[in-house]
Structure 1
């Protein structure tokens, strides 16, 4: 895995992050406004972005553009195809939207009736998470490659514990390498932006089998996933790309999130007559880190196996290596911030859970270091804390 030869002359992570931050600000303040000015469809998508707290209140009629029925007549579980793919969110979404023979294991089909929907695993506090500061997690990647960022309006924040921002007709104008796409190669997605729990208390067990320490957190995660699925159904989504929501820096146990998705999507066997997902036919969990993807598939069950796309398999090694380094730096920064907060706090009831969270993150950092990070990179210091993404 990784590069076949050493990387020579690579700038330190702090400098690369500064360069990305500068590029991100140009994207936010120049590139995207230019696209807004030139495309009525992009403008309408941004302007119509909405915060949804109650999926039952969604205007279904306005959401079913071009669809022949409202899609409540079938048991969606019987028809929904579920996959786990070790790749980038937008790469997977593109393969789904093209539905090309050999591109994603499907027979060639007609153009989808509506956009593929993707989950933006969002920061609950800051629109775009650490996008403007050069972070490279999933939300930041979406903001860098699409017109999503201006649709994450300040008035929507702080994001609710249960709820989501729905944005239609988000234009994808860059590929996974950060290169601008030609006008004829640009394409569209719908985006649902929502936050998972941050730093929940977990039982002190092995990393693979960590569990929530509180039933309340388990219930909250389940309600948020149910809200997500209800919105996708109400909006008439046919294909969607989800992920290992909150299982990165936010510290949600993979087993808990995978189990919650399974229970919500497939039901628990007691309410099978009430589980309908309307027009939804395909769900793909796009998880770039292969070990995390394997853990998620195992805990989701139902015979899921991790797949890789036939298209563009050669793009992942360099990208994953750089993203892995950035993820480590972001995690180190969060640990430093927690240490400062602990040192400044005189409230034992606050310090105790913060210390537990810091210990969990330290364990996660050591594990990631041992897997894929060179020691010279880890010695770099970067005090800027900016990534609020999952």
Structure 2
């Protein structure tokens, strides 16, 4: 039996890179079955992939014990006052494997750990929850205030800048349910603004300006990057944060990532070695690509 903590970490990550779009909507019943079997193996503390049995009990326990909650008024609010890292981001660098730490942004439900993954939902968080050991971390007493806060104060869909950090999560399954050797990843759980809900609120108030959405999303996305930076994560997987059911504008999200990571003088331009944007549908991919290849704005 192989201990998951000692398994080599590798993934396809590179400079500010877009992943190739693929659409693979698995049947809801299959997703439910995958989720249930993943939780069963997490409970048992092991699983088999390619003829090797992996012991994951220690890794799951370590993640749960190291889970950290960052309230809205945490030190993450100071992101703009700190100088970034020293390694230059290379937008055109080739894809390569890495033994360094990897971070993934979980596009979180603000009120339910794992979103609807137990019911077969197929959004980004649900895919992560059924394919990894993240869910037990989100069910810890440490993470509980994150969900309690948003249940009590949804702010009409703006939610808060609270986040949960789950280090050492094991990604152990493909979306199809195939078992894979464990990949060790740190996960930031944060909710995007529910732009659709907030716009409905504004319409009821006869307010037609929704600039609060843009301002809130920029601050939240910057805090995500700052948290990865604080934790020493040099390789990150991001994406089209909140542009699905939450109805944020794709051009806003892509533009904010570009502003924070790639524009001249960007705060996080030198903070990461590799950044991948996992975008799974072609229209979204094309919009991201058009924004990323456009000339970055220059300061006067």
Q: Same fold (TM over 0.5)?
A: yes
Corresponding residue of 2:106: 120
1:161-219 C-alpha deviation (Å, 9 max, x unpaired):
213211111111212321122xxx222111111110112429xxxxxxxxx94111111
Determine if the alignment matches structure 1 residue 52 to structure 2 residue 70: yes
2-structure distance, mates of 1:20, 1:75 = 42
| 1:18-76 per-position Cα deviation (integer Å, ceiling 9, x unaligned) | 45324423432x22112288532221112211121356369xxxxxxxxxxxx967556
Contact 2:237–2:278 (CA under 8 A) maintained in structure 1: yes
Equivalent position of 1:157 in the other structure: 147
**Aligned-residue offset at 1:232:** 1.1
**1:17 and 1:219 mapped to 2: Cα distance?**
35
Structure 1 Cα separation of the partners of residues 228 and 109 of structure 2: 20
2:32 aligned residue? 21
Unpaired stretches in structure 2, ≥5 consecutive residues: 1-20, 47-54, 151-158, 201-207
Tell me by how many angstroms 1:237 deviates. Answer: 0.9
Would you say the 8 A contact 1:255–1:296 is kept in 2?
Answer: yes
Residues 293 and 287 (structure 1), Cα distance of their counterparts in 2 relative to 1, 3 Å cut? same
Distance in 2 (alpha carbons) for counterparts of 1:228 and 1:43? 24
Counterpart-to-counterpart distance in 1, 2:86 and 2:22? 43
2:253 corresponds to 1:257: yes
Alignment-derived partner of residue 374 in structure 1: none
Report SS of the residue matched to 1:157.
Answer: helix
How many angstroms apart in 2 are the aligned matches of 1:134 and 1:172? 18
Paired residue for 2:119, among 133, 138, 142? 133
Distance 1:40 1:300, change over 3 A: same
Q: Distance in 1 between matches of 2:172 and 2:44?
A: 12
Q: In the aligned structure 1, how far is the partner of 2:161 from the partner of 2:35?
A: 29
Among candidates 282, 285, 299, match of residue 274 of structure 2: 282
* Structure 1 runs not aligned, ≥5 long: 4-12, 59-70, 84-103, 203-211, 305-390
Question: What residue in structure 2 maps to residue 215 of structure 1?
Answer: 211
More strand by share: 2
TM-score with structure 1 setting the length = 0.54
* Aligned counterpart, 2:5: none
Q: Distance in 2 between matches of 1:186 and 1:42?
A: 12
Tell me how far apart the structure 1 counterparts of residues 57 and 256 of structure 2 sit (CA, whole Å). 39
1:189-208 equivalences in 2 (<5 Å): 189-198=185-194, 199=196, 200-201=198-199
RMSD after superposition: 3.3
**C-alpha distance after superposition, 1:265-284 (max 9, x if no partner):** 245x6xx3x82566511111
**1:381 corresponding residue in structure 2:** none
- Could you tell me which residue of structure 2 aligns to residue 292 of structure 1? 284
Q: Contact 1:236/1:280 (CA < 8 Å) preserved in 2? A: no
Aligned partners of 1:50, 1:161: CA distance in 2, in Å? 16
- Write the mapping of 1:1-390 to structure 2, written as runs, cut at 5 A: 16-28=27-39, 30-35=40-45, 38-53=56-71, 56=75, 74=85, 79-82=88-91, 105-106=94-95, 111-113=98-100, 115-153=101-139, 154-158=144-148, 159=150, 161-181=160-180, 185-198=181-194, 199=196, 200-201=198-199, 213-266=209-262, 272=265, 275-276=267-268, 279-302=271-294
Question: Quick check: which one's helix share is greater?
Answer: 1
Structure 1 stretch displaced more, 222-231 or 36-45: 36-45
The alignment's TM-score, normalised by the length of structure 2, stands at 0.69
1:161 and 1:196 in contact (8 A); partners too? no
3-state SS, counterpart of residue 192 of structure 1? strand
CA apart distance, 1:130: 0.7
Q: CA deviation at 1:82?
A: 4.1
Q: Which has the larger radius of gyration?
A: 1
Partners in 1 of 2:160 and 2:91 — Cα distance? 26
